[in-house]
């Protein structure tokens, strides 16, 4: 199984703690043997969870010009019309996807085109499904311009557990639908801000897969 490069420091730290803890349990057997076994097992489970969190699945996507694909794994928690204040300053269709700690946390380009805007915002760490998390939490905004259908904004939002947002998008850089543009460590969410005339293909509560599920389609 391939692991994401963003996980290297965390994996090394956790592996070191597990190794030291296991060594200590064997070297200094001051606890009851059964308790030592349980603690050792728990350490191994923690390492397994961290390894699973940073997994990189193999996903193949053929470019679909009219499609807006999911930027992440997770569950659709918001579909509504909103006033977008950061970039468009007009009404947009917002679709928000909540990512739990067990989801793949790679973020994928929903469309192909060129990156026209990126901005990081420091902020709070409200739970990711909180309505104000889109505007008050730590977040990173990216806008990609499709050569035919115009611009789509997508925003990585930190949650209560997330403490690092990684964004690889750069203004002027080509974007390929389904390719990686970022990563968020631990529970979080991603917002999509789409044109009002885009045809939404998902419903509230639906589970989606990054670079696989079609979220909406541009109006022809």
What is the C-alpha to C-alpha distance for residues 85 and 176, in angstroms, rounded to an integer? 26
What single-letter DSSP state applies at residue 7?
A: G
Is 188 catalytic? The answer is yes
Tokens (6 digits) for 74: 């997770």
Please identify which residue in the block is written with the tokens 């009002």. Answer: 196
Of residues 70, 112, 133, 188, which has the active-site annotation?
188
Q: Comparing C-alpha atoms, which of 112, 91, 76, 104 is closest to residue 201?
A: 76
What single-letter DSSP state applies at residue 184?
A: E
What is the C-alpha to C-alpha distance for residues 169 and 153, in angstroms, rounded to an integer? 12
What is the C-alpha to C-alpha distance for residues 163 and 160, in angstroms, rounded to an integer? 8
Please identify which residue in the block is written with the tokens 């974007």. Answer: 175
State the virtual CA torsion across 119, 123, 125, 128 in degrees, nearest 10. -40
Please identify which residue in the block is written with the tokens 């994928």. Answer: 108
Whether residue 93 contacts residue 68, with contact meaning beta carbons closer than 8 Å, is answered with no
Q: What residues contact residue 30 under an 8 Å CB cut-off, 6+ apart?
A: none
Catalytic residues, by residue number, are 188
């Amino acid at each position: 199984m391939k692991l994401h490069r963003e996980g290297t420091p965390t994996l090394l730290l956790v592996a070191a703690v597990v190794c030291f803890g296991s060594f200590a349990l064997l070297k200094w057997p001051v606890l009851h043997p059964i308790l030592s076994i349980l603690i050792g097992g728990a350490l191994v489970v923690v390492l397994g969870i961290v390894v699973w969190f940073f997994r990189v699945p193999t996903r193949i996507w053929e470019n679909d010009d009219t499609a807006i694909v999911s930027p992440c794994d997770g569950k659709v928690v918001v579909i509504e019309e909103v006033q977008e204040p950061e970039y468009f300053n007009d009404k947009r269709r917002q679709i928000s996807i909540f990512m739990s700690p067990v989801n793949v946390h790679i973020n994928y380009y929903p469309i192909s085109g060129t990156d026209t805007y990126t901005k990081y915002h420091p902020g709070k760490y409200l739970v990711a499904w909180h309505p104000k998390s889109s505007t008050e939490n730590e977040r990173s905004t990216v806008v990609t311009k499709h050569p035919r259908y115009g611009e789509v904004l997508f925003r990585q939002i930190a949650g209560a557990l997330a403490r690092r947002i990684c964004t690889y998008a750069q203004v002027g850089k080509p974007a390929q639908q389904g390719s990686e543009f970022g990563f968020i460590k631990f529970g979080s969410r991603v917002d999509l801000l789409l044109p009002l005339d885009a045809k939404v293909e998902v419903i509230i509560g639906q589970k989606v897969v990054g670079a696989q599920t079609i979220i909406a389609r541009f109006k022809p």
